[in-house]
């Protein structure tokens, strides 16, 4: 039944991709929508010259990478995770923060963007994929930054030992986007270390059990005042650069390709030192 429902919802090509993925085989079959996204990604990179044209990260430059094809238009329009951008900006300015620690750096969108926006002085990035780590480095260099950042591999249970002497915890913001591993890495010990820091956690509820979610929230609540944000409205009519695209294309470019409605936890320390 699940196979049939998957076929009805996503079509034969995506169903085949999913089946091969489950047995560890990566295939590159694209349906009509995916082909359109690839076209739009390349077109927007060309039109924007690889530079963010609006929003807090305006002026940030990024190389073209096929790994981020589906979200590239939203990134260059400046509306990708716009609510997260705003929270990073608010927390950094309100609390005079100096260190930005990004677990799950991807292509460096938030680290590069917040560097260009002059929000922090030092940047530490953890990223699982070597290819992505190289992309992050190239993006820093593209923006003429050659120091004040450090890139590590996967953030495991001991990641804080690598950086504890490099940062001041009460002057640090941790952005955590590690595809469900937040339920492993953010445990009683690590949160006790980070209790004077500010955290933004991408909460992957669809990759976790209810017990895991409850446990993490209980641990966070010991040390932090917690609020949450979700993806809000997007206005493609604000962008003249999109005037010649049809509505279907415009909405595809606004998509962040989420498997479900995403939520981020904003954690501010209950006691500031």
- Please report the pLDDT score of residue 257 as a whole number: 87
| pLDDT (tens digit per residue) in 140-196 | 999 999 999 999 999 999 999 999 999 999 999 999 999 999 999 999 999 999 999
Residue 259 has pLDDT above 80, yes or no: yes
Domains belonging to the chain, first-starting first, are 1-30 (no CATH), 37-269 (3.40.50.150)
User: Crossing angle, helix 130-142 and helix 109-116, to 10 degrees?
Assistant: 20
Q: Are 153 and 125 in contact (CB under 8 A)?
A: no
Rounded to an integer, what distance in angstroms lies between the CA atom of residue 244 and that of residue 253?
13
Q: In b/e form, how buried is each residue of 218-239, taking b as 16+ CB within 10 angstroms? A: ebbeebbeeeebebeebebeeb
Q: Are 173 and 88 in contact (CB under 8 A)?
A: yes
Residue 18 has pLDDT above 70, yes or no: no
pTM of the model: 0.91
| pLDDT (tens digit per residue) in 228-251 | 999 998 888 889 999 999 999 999
Supply the mean pLDDT for the chain: 91
Q: Exposure of 268 by Cβ count < 10 A (0-12 exposed, 13-18 middle, 19+ buried)?
A: middle
Residues pairing with 126 in the sheet: 103, 152
| pLDDT (tens digit per residue) in 92-137 | 999 999 999 999 999 999 999 999 999 999 999 999 999 999 999 9
């Amino acid at each position: 039944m699940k196979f049939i429902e998957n076929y009805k919802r996503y079509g034969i090509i995506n169903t085949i991709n999913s089946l091969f993925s489950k047995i560890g085989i990566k295939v590159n079959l694209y349906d009509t929508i995916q082909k359109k996204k690839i076209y739009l990604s390349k077109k927007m990179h060309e039109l924007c010259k690889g530079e963010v044209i609006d929003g807090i990260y305006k002026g940030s430059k990024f190389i073209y990478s096929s790994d981020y094809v589906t979200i590239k238009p939203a990134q260059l329009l400046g509306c990708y995770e716009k609510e997260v951008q705003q929270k990073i900006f608010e927390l950094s300015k309100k609390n005079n923060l100096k260190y930005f620690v990004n677990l799950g750096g991807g292509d460096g969108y938030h680290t590069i963007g917040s560097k260009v926006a002059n929000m922090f002085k030092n940047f530490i990035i953890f990223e699982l994929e070597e290819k992505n780590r190289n992309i992050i480095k190239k993006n820093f260099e593209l923006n003429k930054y050659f120091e004040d950042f450090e890139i590590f591999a996967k953030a495991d249970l001991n990641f804080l030992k690598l950086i504890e002497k490099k940062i001041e915890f009460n002057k640090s913001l941790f952005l955590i986007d590690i595809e469900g591993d937040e339920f492993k890495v953010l445990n009683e010990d690590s949160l006790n270390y980070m209790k004077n820091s500010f955290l933004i956690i991408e909460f992957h509820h669809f990759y976790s059990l209810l017990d895991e979610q409850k446990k993490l929230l209980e641990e966070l609540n010991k040390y932090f005042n917690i609020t949450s944000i979700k993806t809000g409205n997007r206005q493609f009519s604000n962008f003249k650069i999109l005037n010649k695209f049809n509505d279907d294309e415009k909405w595809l470019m606004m998509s962040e390709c989420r498997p479900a409605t995403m939520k981020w936890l904003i954690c501010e320390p209950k006691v500031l030192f």
